[in-house]
Amino acid sequence: MRYFPIFIDTAELPCLVVGAGEVAARKIELLLKSEAHITVVAPWACDTVKKLIDAGEVDYIPREYHPDDLDGMRLIFVATDQDSVNRQVHHDASERDILVNVVDNTPLCQFITPSIIDRSPIIIAMSSGGVAPVLLRYLRQKLESVIPHGIARLGRFSERFRERVKQSLNSVTQRRYFWEDILDGDVAEQVLQGNDKHAEELFEQRLHDYQHDNSTQGEVYLVGAGPGDPDLLTFRALRLMQKADVVVYDRLVSPAVLELVRRDAEKIYVGKARSKHTLPQEDINQLLVDQAQAGNRVVRLKGGDPFIFGRGGEEIEPLIENNIRFQVVPGITAAAGAASYAGIPLTHRDHAQSVVFATGHLRDNTIDLDWPALVQKQQTLVFYMGLTGLGIICQKLIEHGMPESTPIALVASATLPHQHVVTGTLTSIESLVAQAGISPPALIIVGSVVSLHKQLNWFHQDRA
């Protein structure tokens, strides 16, 4: 992140604009939305700027720029059509350590002005660092259409009662829970509709309830993070991730998904890899209990779906034993994500009428499964955690009657930009995977549906 986003207090901020053409006028009009004290220096002014000067909204110095114009200034905008002047102002301001912006000349900008959605006191600012202005306008249009103009009323309502809530509720966590309740509920709805009196009555009742609620126990959310692509998260998952005080996650949760967690939430890594556990499962279970009993909202973020090889059931049992509230949010399974992004339908009228999920996890160098039940016609097999045991899986399937020529695919880092799909047969796949240098996480798909991969592959077609 080259440009760090900040909001500057503009109360009485002395700001200089060099130039008074239409480009400068746009900057001046934007600055006039703030409380800055604006001085314009230029030998002439366009009609737009003249009107602002005549209205007394800006101070005007009708001459060429002089370095002394920087005296006492804290923010500089340069918008002339003379490159030599623009560079001179940039040089002079830089020597004085005054922030300067040369309009439409990013290399000469010490700061850039973002694209703004103004719902004062709520301000949303976005930037592309000057590299994608059209995309930025597109995103702004999207946000403008979904953020109600009434959100400004909600901002002013919150401002009025902020200190009252701070004095009434001692705990920072309790205050945050209270405001989340207010903003998610009927109080906010009444404010947005302009029914301030009714909103205040409801607000007072909620505040009274919170003042007399001494409960400190939190709640646990078992959230399926999906196979990796953050766009595959459910709305509910994203909402709860934004509410979390504590996030407990493992290695199957992609960095892109983890980025969507509430910024100031405590993040606890309990990742597991083969023969290398950061925390034993029993300790993870106890961690969830302890954090909830401390009054936290805990998101247990799990790759794929919590109830499909995610040990979600095991983590719920101690919560029930300790009377801790919990929710389970399903996620797109690793199997569904890998198959879809690899162009391999798990069922198909001409290939498979059933699909079986199995674990390929090794115990004492063996995989204890009902192999005869797995070797059935018109059936797709999906093996989780099977990369290390790939050779044994192929050997056992062949031993129990599956043809050696049966198609098999291995999908690594499914749904992510670096997804890698390797296809072969039961006899060739092990060497092909070794040549490709595949590492976990990876999923194995076995069955004639794999033969559709090249035809139906839509994601990373160049890697087919």
Catalytically active residues are 250, 272
Distant-in-sequence, close-in-space partners of 101: CB < 8 Å, separation ≥ 6: 76, 77, 78, 109, 110, 111, 112, 113
Buried b (16+ CB within 10 A) or exposed e, 17-45: bbbbbebbbebbeebeeeebbbbbbbeeb
Q: Tell the burial category of 280 from Cβ atoms under 10 Å away from its Cβ (0-12, 13-18, 19+).
A: exposed
- Residue found by looking up tokens 């249009």 in the block: 141
Report the 3 state secondary structure along 390-436: HHHHHHHHHHCCCCCCCEEEEEECCCCCCCEEEEEECCCHHHHHHHH
Of the candidates 436, 367, 447, 349, the residue with the CA atom closest to the CA atom of residue 405: 447
- Residue found by looking up tokens 């198959």 in the block: 339
CA distances from 92 to 28, 78, 87, 108, 177 (A): 21, 12, 9, 12, 49
- Backbone angle region of 460, left / alpha / beta, with phi > 0 → left and psi within -120 to 50 → alpha: left
CA angle 180, 298, 241 (to 5 degrees): 60
Sheet holding 37-41, edge to edge: 59-61, 37-41, 14-18, 75-78, 99-102
Whole-angstrom Cα distance, residue 361 to residue 367?
Answer: 7
